[in-house]
Chain A
Amino acid sequence: MNYFINKTLYLLIVFAIAISGVFVLVNNMPGDPAYGLAVSIAQQRNMQIEQALEIAHKMMGIDPHESIFIRYGKFVSNLLKGNFGYSAFYNTSVNEIIAKSLPWSLFVISLATFLSFTIGIFLGAFAAQKRDTIIEGIISTVSSIIQAIPPFILAVLILFVFSVRLKVLPLGGAYPVDIEPSFSLEFISKIFLHALGPMLAIAIPQMASWTLSMRGNTSQIMEEDFIRFAEARGLRDSVIAAKYVRNNAMLPLVASLAISVGYMLGGQTLVESIFNYPGIGFYFGKAIAVRDFGLLTGLFTLIVIGVILATFIADFVYALIDPRVKLK
């Protein structure tokens, strides 16, 4: 238990350093962080830029005369209250953007994780069982080639082939604009169809890396003495393959499952931008493009929280499923 208290403290410190670093980086920028918002207000309402700046400052909750320390204090206390800040570009609170985009991201990520993990585990174990055959060669080579394709390039390819040329996948969005959201079968199937492109773009490279790690782990486990002892006891091959080889080879991978979820949360910025899929990554990309630092800081904080939670869950799960860790 002590271990977990230590770990929690440690991750909290890491979180504090990471968030503070980003805050300092963004807030030491030359110029006024509210300037962009002020310009758009001035254009919309036809007013002087000074006036617009004042309004913008109020909307973003910034006092330009405050020192960076006071601003930092406000940033922290807002965070503690669950307030992630204000987006100048979208003219709304970051919380609102998170509320409408996070579900889509989580939907795509969980689908991608589930598919890539189950298929990857299966292929990796299969390749290891067929050691030194053509099947293993094909699985390993294809996996390595896939690993050489960055997810955003895969996204471009999928978009080009399936959306533009074959027209079997939609060009963007989370669902068609002309359908009212409901729980109808049609709407749900459309949701899946729209998620398919971004899902495949992150799932396929993940699958390749699960396959390769599972193959490595499996062939290592197959050399272990306890496998030969299980054979010596006359256990059926199917029992050995499942209970002795697969379970042991999978353990470390199950633990890194959570970490990969966190990684995807940060890594799908480009993929969602390419598919115009309205998840966290899409808004993050937008915030970068228009340099909306309020939105950027808020979303980054969310991503860091996600990754740290994932790390924590990974540790916890590992301790839960592996007696070697649990009993230490």
Chain B
Amino acid sequence: MKKENIANFYYDYIQPLLTNKKSLIGLMILLFYILMATIGPVVVPLDMNSNFAERYQKPSLKHPFGTDYFGVDIFQQIVHGSRSVISLTLLASFFAVLIGTVIGVARGYLEGIAGKIIDAIIMVFLVIPSFPALLILAAVFMNYDLNVVEIALLVAVWLWAPLAKQISAQVLSIKSKEFIEASKMLNMPISYILFSDIAKLLIPYIFINFVMQIKGAMEFSVGLMFLGLAKFDPTHWGVMLNYALYQAGALYTAKGFHYLFFIILNIVLLIYGGILLSQGVEEVFNPRLRGNE
């Protein structure tokens, strides 16, 4: 039974993505970075000790991405930083989807005043400009040493609202459909209706949204680190960018170009992977979603 479920999941969600060019390339890029984050730090050593004799070395066999202002190997930092970049991004996307789904489903089920209140809350988070709000929140919590999960939550708070709105609309429309009425008439418990019938129809939405959150989560967390708020890992690429610009002044010396270049290249490539995957996911699943309505 379980095996069957996995096989169905593969045919329904994974296989179509492997046949779409965009999502395939996007998946490959993301997998590359996930591998880098999981295996990389084990294989590549990290030596953060300053070595001024080797400051700003050009890329070479010894230092594939060159060295930074302190003579530290950039490649090593990128590899080790990928762990916090990937975990922060995926966690933030996950939390955003979780919050969005819970609030969206709750809104779909609650009627009357409670529903109106949730509507207003969703609206507030939709309207509030999220990046400045995130910065304020981060500034408020700056003095606490936040861990990855807490920072991810901080970011997710500003990402969940659009999904909640979509899901609540979906649940409202599904709720009125006949088979749910039938479940009710058969006297099935409400929890069964919630998790069995609705979940089946919402999975594609949640799936698409998880992928779409990657870009926002990535941009927000890098921006946060870049501003020097929440410095929990010196090799996080956003923190590296901050060092490069404000500590090392890499911007103002010709020798520092490769320093900036490799940080930016990796940030952009990772976000691009997320965008490609989400474009592919939309191409593959959206016609079907529309067909459901």
Asked if the two chains touch in their complex, CB atoms less than 8 Å apart, one says yes
Interface, chain A (partner B; CB < 8 A) = 10-11, 13-14, 17-18, 21-22, 25-26, 29, 144-145, 147-150, 152-153, 156-157, 159-160, 164-165, 262-263, 265-267, 269-270, 273-274, 284-285, 288-289, 291, 296, 299-300, 303-304, 307-308, 311
B135 CB–A CB distance under 8 Å: yes
Tally of A-B Cβ pairs under 8 angstroms: 111
Cβ of A303 and Cβ of B132 under 8 Å apart? yes
Across the interface, B132 reaches (CB within 8 A) one of A21, A148, A164, A266, namely A266
Interface positions, chain B 223-249, Cβ under 8 Å from A, are 223, 226-229, 241, 245
B195 CB–A CB distance under 8 Å: no
Complex CA–CA separation, A186 to B72 (angstroms)? 46
Across the interface, B226 reaches (CB within 8 A) one of A152, A262, A304, namely A152
- B-chain residues with CB within 8 Å of residue A148 when the two chains form the complex: 215, 268-269, 271-272, 274-275
Across the interface, B271 reaches (CB within 8 A) one of A150, A270, A300, namely A150
Cβ of B227 and Cβ of A150 under 8 Å apart? no
Minimum C-beta distance from A288 to chain B (A): 5
Cβ of B136 and Cβ of A269 under 8 Å apart? no
User: With A11-B127, A270-B226, A288-B227 as given contacts, are A300 and B264 in contact (CB-CB < 8 Å)?
Assistant: no
B137 CB–A CB distance under 8 Å: yes
User: With A13-B120, A148-B271, A160-B257 as given contacts, are A300 and B223 in contact (CB-CB < 8 Å)?
Assistant: no
Cβ of A265 and Cβ of B219 under 8 Å apart? no
For the complex of A and B, 10 pairs with smallest distance between CB atoms: A266-B129, A148-B272, A148-B271, A266-B132, A150-B219, A17-B124, A288-B139, A18-B128, A14-B124, A148-B268
Complex CA–CA separation, A4 to B231 (angstroms)? 45
Complex CA–CA separation, A150 to B140 (angstroms)? 24
Q: A148-B269, A262-B129 are in contact. List 13 more A-B contacts (CB 8 A).
A: A17-B121, A22-B133, A25-B136, A25-B140, A150-B223, A153-B268, A156-B245, A156-B251, A266-B131, A267-B129, A300-B133, A303-B132, A307-B128
Complex CA–CA separation, A274 to B226 (angstroms)? 11
Across the interface, A296 reaches (CB within 8 A) one of B139, B228, B267, B269, namely B139
Interface CB pairs A-B, < 8 A, 23: A11-B127, A14-B124, A17-B120, A22-B133, A25-B137, A25-B140, A144-B279, A148-B215, A148-B271, A150-B223, A152-B226, A153-B222, A160-B257, A164-B251, A262-B129, A266-B129, A267-B131, A270-B223, A288-B138, A289-B228, A300-B136, A303-B132, A304-B129
Interface footprint category on B: 35 or more
Cβ of B275 and Cβ of A18 under 8 Å apart? no
